[in-house]
């Protein structure tokens, strides 16, 4: 008969002596070592006989193998979400439960991750008050580590009304929850696994999942620490880019910026639009290289990008009508203050009234001018990136646009994501711009969306190594 006791907390350190993993250390029997006679172990199993001893040892071996396989899967997880998915999947396999939910606590708190639950199901569980939900007692007393067992969600008198309603709607019959914690970090997360029918996992299953969570907690702590560092660096990168584009009469602006993941990033891209004192508009996109692999190098490149972009803004205000001088000053600054880095850039000075554009590039993808007749590159002269030569120098380019034309500036990330080579990607960009429908070309925001959809799809590329930036200006 199922034990349908009221919901209760049981300390994780309490382990039944009859469990196959009960014993010393991490729950396994102490191995025979120097000075330990094997026959000293025999009295323990004397009343079991040879068959009982063999079954007990087989159970230990099976449990040890299972724990090893599941902890190995967790160790291979990339990123916090993958680690939480692994915890849920392994706990479900060890407990024999089809569904689960895990949430992090403390500084790494985020949205819950579910197993066998869609967004609506997770959202419904989030509406249950914490004190009466599947984590009752586990989150309210963070100094304690424990487990929560509710064998019958429909009949247990300790289940809150809202939790019972949600359980009935989702078809949940029972749940078993655990806190994941370490001595150094305290509680890190709480996980719960759900059964479709009233159930009470036996002591062996509970002991296995508790040991697994003990092994998983230090790995999860490192994933949470990495995730906090990644989120802090992403916030830094966002803060180093403009939070809005200026409103300048005569032109309309739009931008798209999709940074690569910090783990794979090989540079940090910028964009900017600067309303200059004389009524003209300065436009720029560019990229700063990293100085090594890893998240730390990506964060350093992001900080350097912020410094370079800030300097370019100052030079644009001082001499924005001369793009060659702006990039020349940026070259000098880069060689003086960032000698180990290089950068590519395009800077354009736009006169919105006359629709006159002056621009220069340094080792960067040329802009694309979209007109009623199609789309073509504005060919900047070939030049090395900033910081690569003893002295950077390149002539500027000038042209006059017509009403309705759109100038598109982009970084190499777009071209590299949509073709096997940089040249092929640039050609694909020009074709996509030329094939844009007329109503799309009338709105720079729609044009940016069209180019991204046509070239790289709508979803993010988790393995991309280059940031992706599109900056479009339409002449009214």
Check whether residue 345 and residue 466 sit in a common domain: yes
Residues 139 and 275 in one domain: no
Instruction: Using pLDDT thresholds of 50, 70 and 90, give the confidence band for residue 3.
Output: very low
Asked if pLDDT for residue 154 goes beyond 50, the answer is yes
Q: How many domains does the chain have?
A: 2
Q: Are residues 225 and 245 in the same domain?
A: no
Q: Are 305 and 321 in contact (CB under 8 A)?
A: no
25 located within any domain: no
Q: Phi first, then psi: what are they for 189, rounded to 5°?
A: -160, 165
Q: Are residues 218 and 274 in the same domain?
A: no
In Å, what is the CA distance from 98 to each residue of 93, 154, 166, 410? 8, 18, 17, 47
Residues 192 and 276 in one domain: no
pLDDT, residue 379, reads 79
pLDDT at residue 2 is higher than 70: no
Last residue of a domain, one of 231, 256, 281: 231
Q: What is the CATH number of the domain that holds 204?
A: 3.30.450.40
Cα separation, 152 vs 55, in Å, equals 32
Q: What pLDDT does 321 receive? A: 85
Same domain (yes/no): 220, 246:
no
Does 336 lie in the same domain as 418? Answer: yes
Q: What's the pLDDT at 236? A: 75
Last residue of a domain, one of 231, 254, 289: 231
Q: For residue 36, tell me if it sits in a domain.
A: no
Q: Which of 399, 411, 428, 400 lies closest to 470, judged by CA?
A: 411
Between helix 80-95 and helix 49-75 the angle, nearest 10°, is 160
Mean pLDDT of 353-371: 92
Residues 308 and 181 occupy one common structural domain? no
In terms of pLDDT, which residue wins out, 312 or 412? Answer: 312
In the predicted structure, residue 228 carries a pLDDT above the cut 80: yes
Higher pLDDT, 267 or 432: 432
Query: What pLDDT score does 38 carry?
Result: 42
Looking at residue 374, its pLDDT comes to 92
More confident of the two residues 389 and 379: 379
Please tell me whether the overall predicted TM-score, pTM, comes out greater than 0.95 for this model. Answer: no
Half-sphere exposure of 36 (CA within 13 A, CB side): 8
* Residues 252 and 218 reside in one and the same domain: no
> Range of 136's domain?
50-231
pLDDT mean across residues, the chain: 81
Give the largest Cα separation in the chain, rounded. Answer: 100
Residue 378 lies in a domain: yes
Q: Which two tokens stand for residue 6?
A: 């009221």
pLDDT at 30 over 60: no
Inform me whether the pLDDT recorded for 326 exceeds 60.
yes
Asked if residue 194 and residue 142 are part of one domain, the reply reads yes
Task: Tell whether 41 is covered by a domain.
Answer: no
Distance CA(273)–CA(269), nearest Å, equals 14
Of 166, 201, 231, the last residue of a domain is 231
Q: Is the pLDDT of residue 254 over 80?
A: yes
Does 385 score more than 70 pLDDT?
A: yes
**202 and 59 assigned to the same domain:** yes
CATH (domain of 289): 3.60.40.10
On whether both 125 and 270 belong to a single domain, the answer is no
Q: Exposed, middle or buried by CB within 10 Å (0-12, 13-18, 19+), for 316? A: buried
Indicate whether 88 belongs to any domain. yes
């Amino acid at each position: 008969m199922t034990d349908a006791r009221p919901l209760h907390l049981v300390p994780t350190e309490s382990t039944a002596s009859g469990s196959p993993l009960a014993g010393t250390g991490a729950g396994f029997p102490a191995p025979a070592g120097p000075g330990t006679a094997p026959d000293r172990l025999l009295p323990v199993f004397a009343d079991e006989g040879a068959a009982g001893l063999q079954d007990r040892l087989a159970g230990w071996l099976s449990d040890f193998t299972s724990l090893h396989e599941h902890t190995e899967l967790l160790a291979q997880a990339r990123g916090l979400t993958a680690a939480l998915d692994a915890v849920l999947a392994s706990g479900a396999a060890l407990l024999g439960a089809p569904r689960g939910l895990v949430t992090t606590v403390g500084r790494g708190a985020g949205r819950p991750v579910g197993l066998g639950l869609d967004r609506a199901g997770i959202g419904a569980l989030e509406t249950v008050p914490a004190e009466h939900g599947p984590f009752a007692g586990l989150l309210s007393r963070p100094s304690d580590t424990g487990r929560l067992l509710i064998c019958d969600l429909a009949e247990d008198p300790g289940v809150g009304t809202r939790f019972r309603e949600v359980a009935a709607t989702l078809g949940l019959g029972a749940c078993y929850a655990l806190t994941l914690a370490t001595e150094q970090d305290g509680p890190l997360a709480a996980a719960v696994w759900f059964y479709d029918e009233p159930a009470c996992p036996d002591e062996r299953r509970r002991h296995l999942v508790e040991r697994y969570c003990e092994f998983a907690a230090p790995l999860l702590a490192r994933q949470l620490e990495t995730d906090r560092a990644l989120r802090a660096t992403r916030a830094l990168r966002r803060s180093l880019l403009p939070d809005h584009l200026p409103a300048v009469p005569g032109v309309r602006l739009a931008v798209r910026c999709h940074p690569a993941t910090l783990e794979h990033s090989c540079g940090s891209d910028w964009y900017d639009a600067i309303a200059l004192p004389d009524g003209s508009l300065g436009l720029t996109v560019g990229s700063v290289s990293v100085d090594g692999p890893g998240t730390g190098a990506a964060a350093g490149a992001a900080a350097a990008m912020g410094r370079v972009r800030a300097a370019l803004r100052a030079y644009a205000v001082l001499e924005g009508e001369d793009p060659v001088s702006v990039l020349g000053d940026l070259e000098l600054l880069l060689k003086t203050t960032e000698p180990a880095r290089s950068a590519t850039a395009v800077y354009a000075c736009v006169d919105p009234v006359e629709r006159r554009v002056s621009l220069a590039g340094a080792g960067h993808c040329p802009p694309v001018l979209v007109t009623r007749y199609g789309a073509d590159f504005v060919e900047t002269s070939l030049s090395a990136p900033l910081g690569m030569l003893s002295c950077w120098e390149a002539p500027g380019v000038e042209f006059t646009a017509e009403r309705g034309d759109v100038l598109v500036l982009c970084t190499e990330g777009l071209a590299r994501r949509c073709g096997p080579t940089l040249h092929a990607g640039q050609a694909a960009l020009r074709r996509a711009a030329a094939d844009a429908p007329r109503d799309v070309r009338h709105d720079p925001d729609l044009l940016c969306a069209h180019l991204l959809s046509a070239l790289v799809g709508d979803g993010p590329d988790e393995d991309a190594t280059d940031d992706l930036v599109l900056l479009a200006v339409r002449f009214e």
